[in-house]
Amino acid sequence: MAQVQGGQPIIILREGTTQTRGREALGNNIAAAKAVANAVRSTLGPLGMDKMLVSGIGDIVITNDGATIVDEMDIEHPAAKMMVEIAKTQDQEAGDGTTTAVVLAAELLTRAEALVGDEVHPTVIAAGYRLAADRAAALLAELARPVTPSDTALLYRIAMTAMTGKGAEVAMDQFAAMVVKAVGMVVDEDGTVDPENVKVEKKVGGSFDDSVLVEGVVLAKERVHPGMPKRVENARVLLLNTPIEYKKTESKATIKITAAGQEQAFLDADQRMSREMAEKVLATGANVVFSQKGIDDLAQHYLAKAGILAVRRLKTSDLKRIARATGARILTTLDDIQPENLGCAGLVEERVMAADEVVVIEQCQNPRAVTILLHGGTEHVVDELERAIHDAIRVVGIVVEDGKYVVGGGAPEIALARSLRDYATTIGGREQLAVEAFANALEVIPRTIAENAGLDQIDALVALRAAHDSGCATAGVDVRTGEAVDMEAAGVVEPLRVKTQAISSATEAAVMILRIDDVIAGSKSQMPEGGPGGMGDY
């Protein structure tokens, strides 16, 4: 980049730095965003297609989950990376609707590019888009309908909608029932649902029908000692965040033996410490021990001799789930353990599943953490099934939290587009053009759903508009016939938050890209000045 001073150009950027300005910069950014959207667009809807993603080391992922696709893609372009952030945010906040958010953002940019070509300034377009997004959020709140945690039939339909078109579709009834039951068991007293309390454990082998909901926790672990019992009924569970082994020195230490018997005395002291720690565990009355840290060999021997089943080196998340399921407290010391610190479970058992040992904790009195155990014929099948179940758990959880849902099938987008066109006439000025563009962009969702089902986009859109004009605000695309049908009656429903978050994220990303009028790309150097951690390229 050069600034002219008295007829003399002044270079202020390093050699090799490139600069793109104005419409060229905007066009490049929009093209990159559209490229990402085109990569996931064909996955949208119940009849969307899958993508095969192959990494540089040969790992294969087969999925139609938008968040997974963009996350696995090796993207360099900065604007394209912003589209990836849209998908990640949508997945974190709503659990579903990632493809909708990405496709909508790209369509908003496409419409904006046409307005820029008609000499509408990007700032005006951004202002109009924000007005339209705010109005759309208010309209969605009016379209939303209430749902309660006790309405299991409606929650079941929401779970079914989330899994439609994904790997779980072959046994959707079974999995939807599991998800609704699981979420109902982990709801906190304040009405919130933490999806981490529904653990999904994958096992390659068997069929979909072998998948079960365990009202407790399944650990991909085994007993620490073969002499321990495999099955403990009426378990009294002790959870430890401290090792059952003597403490090793933090620094390197050397022990000098200067007299006969000192070596044996040292070994005896080690054994005594391990025995004392094991005796503290025995004194608690526990017959099952789960430790996040280690359990040394001698302590294992004493515990096995006492008939205690012990598992070590658990993840923090697993320890917390066991605490929720059994009512036990996680302890950081072996001293002064009270009976009320122990948890209860009807059964703790080591089993073999798909040739692997697992420890199952079940028959808990009030399990507030559960496990869905998935089976499938191949690793790829089970992975995609897990992603579908994750989406279903998340959407059922957020609809329980929010208590609001809307219909799917492109119906909300058509209703919003129709209302926004009327709203645009009340604004005036050039912002009106942006609001109308926003309304037209929303229709990309039903058009894409129809396209991916092999239907004519125009015919489907005309049918939907006619149905909404006649007063059916819940009319959406029937992907098998192309007709406009009542999505409420068809059972195609989804959480309100999925739609509001998708529109919000797409609008924010589109506005941010629209406001960029200058792209300065630094030259790539082998090593910044000053070595690693230097100041970079500028």
Question: Is residue 362 domain-shared with residue 230, that is, in the same domain?
Answer: yes
CATH code of the domain in which 279 resides: 3.50.7.10
Question: Is residue 467 domain-shared with residue 491, that is, in the same domain?
Answer: yes
In this prediction, residue 274 carries a pLDDT of 74
Q: Name the β-bridge partners of 375.
A: 203
Question: What is the CA 502 to chain-centroid distance, rounded?
Answer: 15
pLDDT in tens, 10-68: 666 566 566 676 678 788 888 988 998 998 999 998 888 888 888 777 788 888 888 88
Question: Is residue 241 domain-shared with residue 302, that is, in the same domain?
Answer: yes
Q: Assess if residue 484 is contained within a domain.
A: yes
| pLDDT above 60: residue 532 | no
Active site residue 391: yes
Q: Assess if residue 24 is contained within a domain.
A: yes
Name the region of 202 (left: φ>0; alpha: ψ -120 to 50; beta: rest): beta
**pLDDT averaged over every residue in the chain:** 85
Q: Assess if residue 8 is contained within a domain.
A: no
Q: Assess if residue 130 is contained within a domain.
A: yes
Question: Is residue 197 domain-shared with residue 264, that is, in the same domain?
Answer: no
pLDDT in tens, 102-114: 999 999 999 999 9
Question: Is residue 306 domain-shared with residue 436, that is, in the same domain?
Answer: no
Q: Assess if residue 525 is contained within a domain.
A: no
Question: Is residue 193 domain-shared with residue 103, that is, in the same domain?
Answer: no
272-281: average pLDDT: 79
DSSP track, 245-275: SPPPPSS-------STTHHHHHHHHHHHHHH
Task: For residue 31, give Cα distances in angstroms to 49, 80, 142, 429.
Answer: 23, 9, 35, 28
Q: Assess if residue 2 is contained within a domain.
A: no
Of 315, 340, 366, the position where a domain reaches its end is 366
409-434: average pLDDT: 92
**Model-wide pTM > 0.85:** no
334-351: average pLDDT: 88
Of 349, 366, 383, the position where a domain reaches its end is 366
Confidence of residue 273 (pLDDT cuts 50, 70, 90): confident
Count of structural domains within the chain: 3
Question: Is residue 338 domain-shared with residue 466, that is, in the same domain?
Answer: no
Question: Is residue 263 domain-shared with residue 302, that is, in the same domain?
Answer: yes
- Tokens encoding 50: 């899958």
Q: Assess if residue 289 is contained within a domain.
A: yes
pLDDT in tens, 176-207: 999 999 999 999 888 888 989 999 988 888 77
Given the residues 91, 391, 478, 500, the one annotated as active site: 391
CATH code of the domain in which 378 resides: 3.30.260.10
Q: Give alpha helix (H) positions in 219-374.
A: 262-283, 297-305, 316-326
Question: Is residue 206 domain-shared with residue 88, that is, in the same domain?
Answer: no
Range of the domain at 374: 152-214+370-402
Given the residues 63, 99, 100, 161, the one annotated as active site: 99
Encode 141-152 in three state secondary structure.
HHHCEECCCCCH
Q: Assess if residue 127 is contained within a domain.
A: yes
| pLDDT above 70: residue 256 | no
Stronger pLDDT, 422 or 208, i.e. the higher one? 422
Question: Is residue 234 domain-shared with residue 121, that is, in the same domain?
Answer: no
Per DSSP, 311 falls in state E
Active site residue 99: yes
Of 357, 380, 402, the position where a domain reaches its end is 402
- Tokens encoding 35: 């490229």
| pLDDT above 50: residue 334 | yes
Active site residue 164: no
pLDDT in tens, 234-246: 999 999 998 887 6
Question: Is residue 342 domain-shared with residue 354, that is, in the same domain?
Answer: yes
Four-point Cα dihedral 424, 426, 431, 432, nearest 10:
40
Given the residues 43, 68, 98, 110, the one annotated as active site: 98
